[in-house]
Structure 1
Amino acid sequence: MEKELLKEGPVLDGKGRPIPGYSRKSTLVYDRKAIKAPPWRIKEWDFYQISNDRLCLQFTIGHAAYAGQVSLMLFDFAKGEKLLDQSKILALPFGSLHMPENAEKDNTLLYKKDGVYMRFETVNQKRLLTCRWEDTEVKIRLERRNPNSLVINLPFDEYAHAFYYNHKINCMTAEGYVKAKGREWKFDKKSSFGILDWGRGVWPFHNEWYWSNGSGWLDGEMFGFNLGCGFGNTDTASENMLFYKGKAHKLGKVDFKLGKEYMDPWHLKDREGRLDLTLTPCYDRTTRIKLLWVNNCCHQMFGKFTGKAVLDDGTCLEVKDVVSFAEHAVNNW
């Protein structure tokens, strides 16, 4: 029942309802003015994550209209140590952040205020992320190694004008540095990878999801995956896709099976026998945000993935010790 959107068109129809489906690039056109919902219900964010086999760096610029956030976090998940945590909450930002309407076209997203400078620049599918915040200086360069990505436009059964337009780009090599507190941490492009989680939409106040995304090398070839469930009506567009040798391979629905504790192994399996991954966690990055009406909690579990993934042509890939994450989020926002 999943629908691939091959032709360019709007995210929303003339009545403000989502046109559901998935694509491998920015096929749909997002227009903030076409949303048929109160402005305080619109949510938009750009989230970048850069990681290697022990360090993870995260940038966020985003808002839920009535509350926004600019943040920078660095942690060593191999040691279970938080190294840097900078966050600024923005009250009533609404449209003042000027979030881009396309995740792939050249654009610049800039926040510069009260001593905080954060800039995301996209040029020819290469990205430069820079930040200066008190004594912190960050510069990261990202380069795509696969022209395909995962794009979904989901409806919600609860509300006709609710939608989730999301673009996830992984299989990006990353290089750069973080300087803070008299220390320096470096990311080498041979062993560091980047993710963009780009989200726009309107959805119910209470929501829950499971998400996993990873990139790495398998026998010298770039391999990646995006997996998720629980958020919106995924009958026409699940967010499950494999990436290998420059191509994208669509999967159907995937189930996340957890143990009694978050640190127990996670099992991620599809319903057609093409995916069977086990995540053995080593670190639980738990985040909680409480502000005004916002009450969010997310357990992002880092560790190693092992198992199998089957491509569209039947090729079975052995996945062994790919370092990445899976998360469970429960949000009220």
Structure 2
Amino acid sequence: MTATPMTHKEPELTAPVMLCGPDGLLKRQAVKKWNYWAVTSDDVLFSATIADIERVQLGGAYIFDRRTQQHIEKVVLQPPNAIAIPETVAGDMVIDHPDMRVALTEEGAGTRIRVEAANFGGMRLRADIIVERLEAHETLNVVIPWTDVQFQYTSKQNTLPASGYVQIGDERLDFAAPAFGCLDYGRGVWPEHTVWNWGSASGVQGRRTVGLNLGGQWTDGTGMTENGLCVDGRLTKISEDLVFDYDRTAMMKPWRVRTVASEGIDLLFKPEFERVSESGRQDGFFSSAHQMFGCYSGRITPDGGESIGIRDLFGWIEEHEARW
């Protein structure tokens, strides 16, 4: 489900730069902005999002409990420009809708995620989680260029220590070590129609803390990728397209994700649950996401050449198509 894989010589940015010059090439009215957080333990995934997709702003939250296969989700919408969305990775934003409040705020050396809703699957939701940003922890930050006026900056940050709780009705779910936060931060001007694959996981494998970021389709032909491994806080950038082997007609079948030119990644993902999120119409603007929750197994080879076995690493993988 991807183009012929290639290895790329990617330029590296080692200091902050402005992505647009003073000539105004960036079409600010078409910028898509989102901060997506997912917090995982061995048993639970909780996600909170604030996004601005030009025509609407949204706040969202969902939870998946592996033990019961319970999935609950809620999204609220508000008009464009109702709140300011920060232009930097660190920054405060709050959607305070009558049906749900989503707050992503910076506290100390981390982000505090707070969500409240009176009706979350028929129950009251309250979540309060702190995700730490460790000073020496390396993250994946790339600019994907489609054209001079279409590009996406993404910051993928995984294996960030997380602590806190989610309470739904009378049940309280606590996040404690080893629980991890993952940030998908995006700012960019996208083509009107796009398809992407994204896979991610954070967890402990033996004595190593391992994070995966696996991307495909949307970066094809750009000479850049968003693929990386984070092992014990050190990032290995995979400058090679990945092959995503999966059945679009039966996404609950196992997925295989691998590099071809190297031994960097060879993983099998076994889905446990399919989260489907669809909006709009196929003949107009629409979004269709199939996000699979489950476990990765296989092998990865970070910088240094040591092969690390992966077994039952909880995370997700998805296909998302949008015309926006």
Considering the TM-score relative to the shorter chain, is it more than 0.5? yes
Number of the residue aligned with 1:297: 288
Number of the residue aligned with 1:174: 162
The answer to whether the Cα contact below 8 Å between 1:154 and 1:234 also exists between their aligned partners in 2 is no
1-structure distance, mates of 2:246, 2:100: 39
Number of the residue aligned with 2:195: 208
Quote how far apart the aligned CAs of 1:327 are: 0.6
2-structure distance, mates of 1:319, 1:171: 15
Task: Please report the TM-score for the alignment, with normalisation by the length of structure 1.
Answer: 0.85
Q: Secondary structure at the match of 2:138?
A: coil
Q: Secondary structure at the match of 1:5?
A: coil
Residue 183 (1) aligns with residue 147 (2): no
Match of 2:228 among 214, 227, 241: 241
Match of 2:105 among 99, 102, 121: 121
After superposition, residues 47-62 of structure 1 pair within 5 angstroms as 47-62=36-51
After superposition, residues 269-308 of structure 1 pair within 5 angstroms as 269-271=258-260, 272-290=262-280, 293-308=284-299
The answer to whether the Cα contact below 8 Å between 2:219 and 2:225 also exists between their aligned partners in 1 is no
List per-residue Cα deviations over 1:168-188 (Å, max 9, x = no partner).
111112221122323322222
Match of 1:13 among 12, 18, 21: 21
1-structure distance, mates of 2:193, 2:244: 20
2-structure distance, mates of 1:73, 1:177: 14
2-structure distance, mates of 1:221, 1:193: 14
The answer to whether the Cα contact below 8 Å between 2:76 and 2:99 also exists between their aligned partners in 1 is no
What amino acid is aligned across from residue 230 of structure 1 in structure 2? Q
After superposition, residues 14-163 of structure 1 pair within 5 angstroms as 14-16=22-24, 35=26, 37=27, 39=29, 41-82=30-71, 84-91=72-79, 93=80, 95-103=81-89, 105=90, 107-114=91-98, 116-134=100-118, 135-144=124-133, 147-156=137-146, 159-163=147-151
Number of the residue aligned with 2:153: 165
Number of the residue aligned with 1:30: none
Quote how far apart the aligned CAs of 1:11 are: 1.4
2-structure distance, mates of 1:141, 1:234: 38
The answer to whether the Cα contact below 8 Å between 2:76 and 2:97 also exists between their aligned partners in 1 is no
List per-residue Cα deviations over 1:197-234 (Å, max 9, x = no partner).
11111111110000011111122221111110111455
Segments of 5+ residues of structure 1 without an aligned counterpart are: 18-34
1-structure distance, mates of 2:48, 2:319: 19
Q: Secondary structure at the match of 2:253?
A: coil
Number of the residue aligned with 1:196: 183
1-structure distance, mates of 2:236, 2:28: 37
What amino acid is aligned across from residue 293 of structure 2 in structure 1? F
2-structure distance, mates of 1:199, 1:312: 26
Quote how far apart the aligned CAs of 1:302 are: 1.3
Residue 311 (1) aligns with residue 298 (2): no
Residue 268 (1) aligns with residue 257 (2): yes
What amino acid is aligned across from residue 116 of structure 2 in structure 1? R
Number of the residue aligned with 1:324: 315
Quote how far apart the aligned CAs of 1:16 are: 4.9
What amino acid is aligned across from residue 58 of structure 1 in structure 2? S
1-structure distance, mates of 2:37, 2:177: 16
What amino acid is aligned across from residue 96 of structure 1 in structure 2? A
What amino acid is aligned across from residue 201 of structure 1 in structure 2? G
2-structure distance, mates of 1:12, 1:151: 17
2-structure distance, mates of 1:38, 1:188: 40
The answer to whether the Cα contact below 8 Å between 2:197 and 2:320 also exists between their aligned partners in 1 is yes
Quote how far apart the aligned CAs of 1:70 are: 0.9
Task: Please report the TM-score for the alignment, with normalisation by the length of structure 2.
Answer: 0.88
Quote how far apart the aligned CAs of 1:113 are: 3.7
Quote how far apart the aligned CAs of 1:124 are: 4.1
Distance 1:179-1:245 versus aligned 2 partners, 3 A rule: closer
What amino acid is aligned across from residue 186 of structure 1 in structure 2? D
Segments of 5+ residues of structure 2 without an aligned counterpart are: 1-8, 119-123
For this pair of structures, how many residues does the alignment match? Answer: 306
Quote how far apart the aligned CAs of 1:293 are: 5.0
